[in-house]
Amino acid sequence: MKKKIGNHKKFSAFSIYLIFGITSLVAPLCQTAHPAEQISIKAYVNSNTIGMLDTLELKVTVESQNIMRVPSPRLPDLSNFLKIDSSTQTSTTLSIINGKTIRKKKIVHTYRLQPKKTGEYIIGPVTITYKGQIYSTTPIKVTVVEGHVERGSAEEPSAAPDLRNITENLFLKVTPSEKEVYEGEQIFLTYKLYTQVEIDSVSLKENPDYNGFYRKEIFNANRLNFQRETLNDKEYETSLIKKVTIFPLKPGEYKLEPLVLEATVLLQNEEIFSVFSRPYTLTLTSNDVVIKVKQLPNPESRINFSYIVGTLETSLSKREQTIRTGSPSTVYLTLRSTGNLSLISDPGIITSLKARTYLSDTIEDVIEQKDKVYFIKKFEYTIIPEQNGELRISAPEFYYFDPVERKYKKRETVPISIRVVGPDISYERQLLGREQRLTGVIFNYIKPDVKSLKNTGSVLTSSPIFYITHAIGIITLLILFFFKIKSEKLHEDIKLYRYKKAKNIASRSFKNIRHLMDESKLIDARELIYNTLREYIANKSGLKPQEITIKKLPEVLTHLGISDEIKKDVIKVMNTCYEERFSPVKDTNKEKIKDITDKTVALIDKIELELKEKNFSRQKYKL
């Protein structure tokens, strides 16, 4: 029996400990799951002493947190006053803290009262009841005298914020990657906002001009994104505001202009029961930064300095391994540097064989690594070789200054090679002018005796040869002038001539294509298909055939006004032709070449019909 009782006592003690442990674990979770509901009430008057001719304003402020329906206040006995009117103002704020939504509401009830007689009166507590609990204000003493009493406004009393404490807990900091650099060397500036107070909003007031520097913007914040960070053993909420790289243009000492922000912060009221915050607007200025810029050492006269200060890497890449003479190919020259690559616009490339090169595009990118920013500039070149063989492509040498080793360095790019097949392309030189020579010299003899000097020659104007010669000269000039005008007019209308004759030229080429197919010269036939379609589009657009590339084709067709459906078919045929040009011989068959030819002919007919309809519509509109 005792053993049984003893076991019952042990079980009871265990149960008590278990219940206590579960309660202690669950209770904090229940408190943090939903933000606590809070409510407070206070009352104040516009003046504690008023006259019989004055009006007493009683304001009752109810502040709540996470309460959807706030109960109305219950007024005390006001039999010594006459109630004139009343009004209510409500304001609501929502905030999200650590993923939880907090709803705060402030309701201000204003009652205007007229005293009935002089004397000292006590306005009793104003109360509200919420969930069975009564909240009340402190009593207010009011003295009523004869006549009229000057009084202050009915503003709610509030304590001025400690601005010195705010500036210690809210500031804007700029951090430079370097404070002593060479001219042209990169300085990476990072602007961060540090705060231990609640921020409502931030706006840009002044942006630094960075006088004496070339700048490159990297990042500008459009919203605050706070993260925890420790600075000087204090924890702050930090948000990145701005990132920029600057490059000094000449030596000297420079003090950077500050970045100025305007911030609105929310500060808690001093009252112990208050759950609301007041907004205050402050001006934040970034800290002072002084940059010392050193002069670069004089480079040797033999080197061609690129004015890049920092690191520099270069590379060449290609798109095709094998191309034909007269066909375009794409080559990329890529520069990667911490220096100012905007100083290099078109470095150019060098070819071992005869070829034409064009800079077709420039692509820029930025990569941030630790406290440095790497700028990437990719130059896209179009190459049209005119000689067959091994085409070796190289880039010029780049001389830059390494600030770490404090010396000038040379960067050489590894060359690339492309195999060029097909016949060499030669161009006849145009005759620019004729060579003229002096065929005769006339000598005149002058006698020393001026008085006896006589004209021994015949009068030139009396000879008919004089007039015949001048007439021939004038007629010749007129003929030359006529031909010059005709030549200029023909040159002006050459694009119109090519536009109108584009289909006829293409039709003749298609006859040659079919002739080559009959002779089983399929490689030459597929090459001629590609060139025919490219030449047709070039004639219609007024460009050179070499300028019609796969990349530029959509832009050219859009400029011509070709519909999207036909444009899509043209691009598809051109891509097929382009791929066929580099396919092995065994993969080429007559049926495939015939199919491409038929599609190309049909496409040209569609383009002609669409362009004619567009021209007819324009003429009809003009009429």
Looking up residue 315, the CATH number of its domain turns out to be 2.60.40
Helix or strand or coil: residue 79? Answer: coil
pLDDT score of 119? 92
Residue 527 shares a structural domain with residue 558: yes
329 has a pLDDT exceeding 70: yes
- 8 Å CB contact between 409 and 399: yes
Q: Does the residue 222 lie in any domain?
A: yes
- 8 Å CB contact between 538 and 548: yes
Residue 542 shares a structural domain with residue 610: yes
pLDDT score of 588? 63
pLDDT score of 534? 85
420 phi and psi, to 5 degrees? -110, 125
Q: Does the residue 369 lie in any domain?
A: yes
Proportion of the chain above pLDDT 90, given as a percent: 37
Residue 48 shares a structural domain with residue 136: yes
Residue 200 shares a structural domain with residue 290: yes
Query: In angstroms, rounded to a whole number, what is the distance separating the alpha carbons of residues 532 and 506?
Result: 6
258 has a pLDDT exceeding 80: yes
Q: Does the residue 118 lie in any domain?
A: yes
235 phi and psi, to 5 degrees? -90, 135
Helix or strand or coil: residue 526? Answer: helix
5-53 pLDDT tens trace: 344 433 444 444 444 444 444 444 444 444 577 888 989 888 889 888 8
55 phi and psi, to 5 degrees? -115, 135
What does the chain come to in residues? 623
Q: How confident is the model at residue 581 (pLDDT cuts 50, 70, 90)?
A: low
The mean pLDDT value for 227-243 works out to: 91
Which of 294, 326, 357 is the endpoint of a domain? Answer: 294
CB atoms within 10 A of CB 157: 7
Q: Does the residue 471 lie in any domain?
A: no
Residue 255 shares a structural domain with residue 367: no
pLDDT score of 357? 94
pLDDT score of 96? 61
pLDDT score of 171? 93
Q: How confident is the model at residue 358 (pLDDT cuts 50, 70, 90)?
A: very high
CB atoms within 10 A of CB 554: 15
Q: In the predicted model, what is the mean pLDDT of the chain?
A: 81
Q: What is the 3-state secondary structure (H, E, C) of 298-342?
A: CCCCCCCEEEEECCEEEEEEECCCEEECCCCEEEEEEEEECCCHH
65-115 pLDDT tens trace: 888 788 889 999 999 998 888 888 887 776 666 556 677 888 889 998 989
CB atoms within 10 A of CB 43: 23
Q: Does the residue 178 lie in any domain?
A: yes
Residue 389 shares a structural domain with residue 310: yes
pLDDT score of 444? 46
Residue 329 shares a structural domain with residue 310: yes
Which of 388, 421, 454 is the endpoint of a domain? Answer: 421
**The 329-337 sheet, strands edge to edge:** 312-318, 329-337, 372-385, 355-369
Residue 271 shares a structural domain with residue 360: no
pLDDT score of 457? 54
- 8 Å CB contact between 236 and 194: yes
Euclidean distance between the first and final Cα of the chain, in Å? 122
Its domain, for residue 368, covers 305-421
CB atoms within 10 A of CB 411: 17
Could you tell me the CA-to-CA distances from 284 to 191, 254, 287 in Å, in that order?
A: 12, 22, 10
pLDDT score of 281? 82
Total domains, the chain: 4
Q: Which two tokens stand for residue 373?
A: 């920013």
pLDDT score of 498? 77
Query: In angstroms, rounded to a whole number, what is the distance separating the alpha carbons of residues 136 and 73?
Result: 9
Residue 171 shares a structural domain with residue 100: no
Could you tell me the CA-to-CA distances from 98 to 102, 226, 381 in Å, in that order?
A: 10, 11, 53
| CA atoms 448, 451, 452, 456: torsion sign | positive
Q: Does the residue 151 lie in any domain?
A: no
5-14, 271-280, 532-541, 557-566: least confident range: 5-14
Residue 572 shares a structural domain with residue 613: yes
Q: DSSP per residue over 36-58, as a string?
A: PPEEEEEEEES-SEEETTS-EEE
- 8 Å CB contact between 198 and 277: yes
Query: In angstroms, rounded to a whole number, what is the distance separating the alpha carbons of residues 510 and 504?
Result: 10
Q: Does the residue 430 lie in any domain?
A: no
pLDDT score of 442? 46
409-457 pLDDT tens trace: 999 999 999 999 999 986 544 434 444 444 444 444 444 554 455 555 5
- 8 Å CB contact between 320 and 418: yes
Which of 406, 421, 436 is the endpoint of a domain? Answer: 421
Query: In angstroms, rounded to a whole number, what is the distance separating the alpha carbons of residues 231 and 168?
Result: 12
The mean pLDDT value for 402-409 works out to: 94
Q: What is the 3-state secondary structure (H, E, C) of 148-180?
A: CCCCCCCCCCCCCCCHHHHHHHEEEEEEECCCE
514 has a pLDDT exceeding 90: no
Residue 204 shares a structural domain with residue 270: yes
345 has a pLDDT exceeding 60: yes
Q: Does the residue 464 lie in any domain?
A: no
Query: In angstroms, rounded to a whole number, what is the distance separating the alpha carbons of residues 178 and 184?
Result: 13
Residue 209 shares a structural domain with residue 131: no
Q: DSSP per residue over 374-399, as a string?
A: EEEEEEEEEEEE-S-EEEEEE---EE
Element (H, E) at 61: strand 56-65
44-53, 354-363, 364-373, 540-549: least confident range: 540-549
Q: How confident is the model at residue 554 (pLDDT cuts 50, 70, 90)?
A: confident
CATH number of the domain at 581, please: 1.20.120
Q: Which residue is it, tokens 């009352």? A: 43
- 8 Å CB contact between 276 and 63: yes
129 has a pLDDT exceeding 80: yes
